[in-house]
Structure 1
């Protein structure tokens, strides 16, 4: 995947009533501000491999990939495209312009899918690509004030069980909550419970699917470390999730289901994924379906006033300078700011700020790229009953017909 230049604009998403055809924007947000809870969500954060090498404490760069034997090779590819990276960079460097946007939006909770092992381990798993970041570089995650990392993905065990254990220990010592992986299945299934002052609680459950490339052997068991891996997308699986949520959920809690699923490339949302998302909302009490694994953004759906993100795209990676799949514009990243009603979990608004990765740093995007995203989200949202408008200030507004 090759990175391409862009700059950031804001995407605002609000509902449109079927009777009036009008959407509230800022006024609606202000009206619900006191009661609403704002979540920051994003696609995969991959701070291992090349990015690890530009941070203050680069780990062992040795790789076992077919075409790349050193993580420094990915730094060289990026520099060939966009010029020298001023390494070593400080820990906040990689977040770039995203830090100012986080400060401006002031989300109540900041969630990322951390798709790398944080370890010194050399117990490499036999797979095509292995990500690891040196534990001493964990301040690059705390630099953005991240509250919670979801870990049920296809890279957290890239450096074996010892690598997973060190990842969990490092995150805990850094004060970062985590869900989706653990030293046994009980830990892997346990949610992150976050109290938002004066607004209630947010429960974050993290699930992984073999469809994203997670080996079944990585599934946690009562006696074995691993990830919270879904057996399938069946009704039986939904009932199990319902029971897990029901054991901890209190009235007024907002439930986020983080799911690492599907292929890296392609806009199609498989029917089984859509039905699974519906069942999670209808039967398991989920309020936000936070899907990721695709290297590019996918369509957004509002189902019974609940947000479904089928694919958030990569947020931060070291793919800069790699050719292939350019048509997907996988160089574009999105910051998702979802405001939900604290009493119901219903979506009030969703704002997104497009970012671009250049020199392993998040940078703001251009008006042309905002228009490109408008067209993609219109095309992919049509089947979900959503449409996107480009405003004079280059913001985008997603409208949908309220139902149920």
Structure 2
């Protein structure tokens, strides 16, 4: 995907391999849930089956990714970054008071490594669903699998440290990650000097957010590319908060080449700011939400693979190739053409005020309908 002075990245929204998906993988945990309305994780599998048909049990680890794996491999991105919203632990001590709890058995971790991520972002509102012990288990499991992480750690220094991916000619891609309260990250999940947790900011004006912008200036070396991954904003709605738009601009001004936003259950606008990419919300990618009703107008059954190409020389955006998928039987498959048209209309309308042009065109790599985003 890269080459010729260009670097290609695969970016995505939320990957949630716990709960119902954990139940269909080879090593399911006890299905009991501490949720108010759903007490058995297998009920989420049954809910998906009511709308799409039978879902296999003890499915292969790659099953939830479906057709996405071949599409990602065909694109040959230089770097792959995912946001994991699941605690990887067998610990039963859930955090009380939360409506939703996500965990997966560490033995099912090949369901994550199937996509071969270079960086796993953990700054989100589910990584501590099973407490700090669960976070420790998660960090241990990911480290044992050889995965780089960003956005959570055993103390504040580790949680705020960027993940560094080597690039050709001694360059690096740095991934910083921050979870904001607007996405539902509890304040007491913040990592401190003596306590593990998330790299957390109460809002764009929080000192932690200011320190992040300052750190970009001091950490970046000539030739580096910088991604700032942010878990922010509400689950639903297309209009980003003005303060968060301003924060994204501040990060670009400080040296970020890509602002990788996630938390929303559906894709939100793409923005071109000073030639750099701001993803205000990538939407969900892998989860067990199929069949849950209430927000059908947002079409959260539709998912996107984001293939981003930037210039090595200055980090400026070349294009974003968007490959639409849909979830069926808890598995990703190519979205039909009418759904691609719907996404084109919505993203085109919502991204236009942010200086981004969305075009519909066949996917030049794998074929099939797709979208391309470029600065207007």
**Alignment-derived partner of residue 373 in structure 2:** 398
Aligned position for 1:211 = 182
Q: CA deviation at 1:349?
A: 1.5
> Does structure 1 conserve the Cα–Cα contact (< 8 Å) formed by 2:321 and 2:370?
no
Aligned partner (choices 212, 216, 222) of residue 193 of structure 2: 222
8 A contact 1:36–1:199 mirrored in 2: no
Of residues 328, 332, 355 in structure 2, which corresponds to 1:362?
332
Deviation per residue, 1:239-272 (Å, 9 max, x gap): 4113322443211101100000010011111100
Say yes or no: does 1:191 pair with 2:162.
Answer: yes
- Aligned match of 1:68 in 7, 31, 38? 38
Within a 5 Å distance, the mapping from 1:259-278 to structure 2 comes to 259-278=230-249
1:89-128, aligned counterparts within 5 Å? 89-126=59-96, 127-128=98-99
**In the alignment, does 2:12 pair up with 1:38?**
no
Give me the whole-angstrom Cα distance separating, in 2, the residues matched to 1:235 and 1:345.
27
C-alpha distance after superposition, 1:161-204 (max 9, x if no partner)? 11000000000001111000000000100110000234721000
**Cα offset, 1:343, TM superposition:** 2.0
Please list the CA deviations of residues 189-243 of structure 1 after superposition, one character each: whole Å capped at 9, or x if unmatched: 0110000234721000010000000110000000011000013212855541133
1:132 to 103, 124, 135: 103
Give the distance between the partners of 2:309 and 2:247, measured in 1 at CA. 23
Distance in 2 of aligned mates of 1:382 and 1:150: 28
1:3-402 matched pairs, under 5 angstroms: 33-126=3-96, 127-198=98-169, 200-234=171-205, 237-282=208-253, 284-391=254-361, 394-401=369-376
| Counterpart-to-counterpart distance in 2, 1:249 and 1:95 | 34
TM-score by length of 1: 0.89
3-state DSSP of counterpart to 1:193: strand
Q: Is the 8 A contact 1:200 1:342 kept in 2?
A: no
Q: Which residue of 2 aligns with 1:26?
A: none
Aligned-partner Cα distance in 2 for 1:109–1:99: 14
| Long gaps (5+) in structure 2 | 363-367
- 2-structure distance, mates of 1:268, 1:221: 33
Give the aligned partner of residue 4 of structure 1: none
